Every structure is written in structure tokens, then in C-alpha cells.
A and B are shown apart, each in its own frame.
Chain A
């Protein structure tokens, strides 16, 4: 199984600022994903982080708000831009290809915007 490290584990940010979340995997993986989990709710896919090309965003999520980098096969970042209190959530990095290999999750980044 892959070991996934996310940083920071939690943060409290002022509205209007941006936060970049890092996801480091201990092995090379093809598929990396970013999910959001709002308080008391389930996980929603934000985007698929593609190595060497732009991320693929799900409906309701846009690159200007959630820019993603994937410089190599072990690392990705998600930035939450121009934050508002509605962005307060847990953001989770996931690796693996569902149906092909197990999909593993990082511990998540708990973001609070005040």
C-alpha cells in the first residue's frame, strides 16, 4: 500500500487569502485525486491531477479557484484561492486507480476560514 503524507494537517486562514496543500506519496503513482469533505458530509471529487498536463476538474470546481500542480509521479499540490468561510472543509489527497488498484487516502487537511 502507498503511504501518503499531506501538509499541513490543519490550518486556520483569513478570508481572501490562499492556502497550498501538499501531497507526497512514497512511490510513483499514475493517478492522484483531490477530494473535499465538508463538515458532516461525504467526499466530493474536486479534480484528477495529471502528471505533465492540466488537471481535470469536476463540475462545480474551476482551475482559478483550485489550481493544482503535478510536477512528478510522487507529488501534487492543491491551492484553495481567495478563501471564504464556505471553503472550510477537509481536503484529501488520494492515489491509486479504482478498479485497477486500491485507492488510498491521505490523512487530510482540515481547513477553517475565518
Chain B
């Protein structure tokens, strides 16, 4: 029979507004976190990363916040643009998992004019 994929959580924002995408992780040993953006038909594109010895890191229009106490990661996008529409994944790495990444489920961001 036909298989149906899971529906990703969707965040809809208006152009110019700020976006916040959240991610929870479960491994308390995770010490490195990355946010990726994936547009349709493309591979994941690195956005920003943060190590566990930090709680905030800023890039161009993006900020990543890390709360190790509650194992929560967020990506803030300032002045969201239509080109920001994509699926966003958080990924984590821990010392006991080698160098590979464990990905979260993803959030679909839709920016409306």
C-alpha cells in the first residue's frame, strides 16, 4: 500500500516578523548542536552551531539559544523573509556517538507576504 509520511510541525509567520523555532533533545551528554535549513529538493544547509559551554550565539539575523537545564534549543530568525521558508532541523552530537549527528524531527517555516 501507499505509505504516508509524517506531517512536520508548521510555523507560519508574516514577512518582517521574528520567528522562533524550538527543539528539545534528550541526551544530557550532547555537547554540540547545529541548526540546518533544508529547502525543497536540496540537502541540509548549515545555519549556526553552538557548543554546550555557551547558552547563546548570534549570527547574521539568527540567534541560537541553548538551555541545558531543560534540554531545549531554539533558533530565532529576525525580520523573517520569504527566502527563509524551508524546513529547519536541529541536530546534536555527543562524545559517545562519534562524530555523526542525531537529527530532530524538523519544523516547516512558512513566511507569508
Query: Interface on A for B, CB 8 Å cutoff?
Result: 4, 31, 33, 38-45, 48, 56, 58, 85-86, 92, 94, 96-100, 102-108, 110
Contact = CB atoms under 8 A, between A and B. Distances in A.
Top 10 nearest A-B pairs (CB, nearest first) are: A40-B5, A105-B43, A98-B93, A39-B5, A97-B99, A99-B32, A43-B103, A42-B103, A105-B44, A107-B43
- Among B32, B100, B102, B104, the one with the most A-chain Cβ atoms within 10 Å of its Cβ is B100
Interface string B80-102: 00000000010101010011111
12 contacts: A40-B8, A42-B104, A43-B44, A45-B100, A56-B98, A96-B99, A98-B34, A99-B32, A99-B51, A103-B101, A105-B44, A105-B45
B5 A98 contact: no
Given A105-B43, A108-B42, A99 B5 contact: no
Q: Decide if the interface of chain A is mainly helix, strand, loop or mixed.
A: loop
Interface residues of B, number: 30
Contact of B105 (A42, A104, A106): A42
Interface of B: 3, 5-8, 31-32, 34, 36, 41-46, 49, 51, 89, 91, 93, 95, 98-106
Nearest to B7: A40
A58 B100 CA distance: 10
Interface centre among B7, B98, B99 (most CB of A within 10 A): B99
B91 to A, nearest CB: 8
A110 B40 CA distance: 11
Given A98-B32, A103-B46, A108-B43, A40 B6 contact: yes
A27 B8 CA distance: 35
A103 B106 contact: no
B34 A41 contact: no
